[in-house]
Amino acid sequence: YVNKILHEGGLNSFRKMKSPAISNDQKERQRLRIGRLYRYILTLGDGNPSIVMDDESYFELYSFQMPGNDHYYASAKGDGPSHKIFAPKAKFSSKILVWLAISNRGISKPFFRKSMHGAVSSDIYARECLTKRLKPFIDKHHSDQNYLLWPDLASCHYGAVARTCLEELEIQYVTKDMNPPNCPQLRPIENFWGLLKQEVYSK
């Protein structure tokens, strides 16, 4: 009856959209840093540089953790072999870390690393991601130098080793004082990961 009344009133049910929980301090830093970043972008090249975004994401290696693989089929609950009914999970499960960079001109060569736990270090980020993959990508697709690298605020991206590497490679990047915190909605690469994982886990 309730559904009938809602339907007659032209109301439909929609799934709530997820959004990051943002503290008041983060909101204030967002306001200041987005303004700084916007004004800085206007000073680069023709005032409309290509934005290069790099990021890491993790892909689980256990099939039952993938969408669609967390069920088993039986005539009654509990019927069937135990290896089908139970899904043991280690405290630190194995997963693959994938790094890559994207821009409106292409996608970089990815970096893959099996990871038991913990994030990528600043040293690995500088050597494997910046030097071996990001720099060749920029040289190939952004040789006009009209670009700006916008990493997220992960600690490995702004560690001393990474910052030194960025300066030695002469890569133009968003400094930490201009990088707004907790703003995935401003970074299209977050949508890229979501779409890619749908493809990876679709079967």
pLDDT, tens only, 14-28: 777 777 788 999 999
Angle among Cα 166, 170, 172 to the nearest 5 degrees reads: 75
DSSP 2-19: HHHHHHHTT----PPPP-
Residue 117, SS3 per DSSP: coil
Q: Tell me the one-letter amino acid at 31.
A: R
Rounded Cα gap, residues 163 and 79, in angstroms: 56
The pair of structure tokens assigned to 138 is 């920029």
For residue 79, the model assigns a pLDDT of 77
pLDDT at 71 over 90: no
Rounded Cα gap, residues 112 and 180, in angstroms: 27
Give which of 183, 188, 178 is closest to 37, Cα–Cα: 178
pLDDT band at 90 (very low <50, low <70, confident <90, very high): low
Does residue 147 contact residue 103 with C-beta atoms inside 8 Å? Answer: yes
For residue 66, the model assigns a pLDDT of 57
pLDDT band at 92 (very low <50, low <70, confident <90, very high): low
DSSP 142-189: -TT--EEE---S-GGGSSHHHHHHHHHTT--B--GGG--SS-GGG-HH
Q: How many residues are recorded in the chain?
A: 203
Does residue 104 contact residue 142 with C-beta atoms inside 8 Å? Answer: no
The separation between CA 152 and the C-alpha centre of its own chain, rounded to angstroms, equals 8
Q: Which residue has the higher pLDDT, 40 or 45?
A: 40
The pair of structure tokens assigned to 116 is 């038991």
Does residue 62 contact residue 94 with C-beta atoms inside 8 Å? Answer: yes
Whose structure tokens read 């600690």?
A: 155
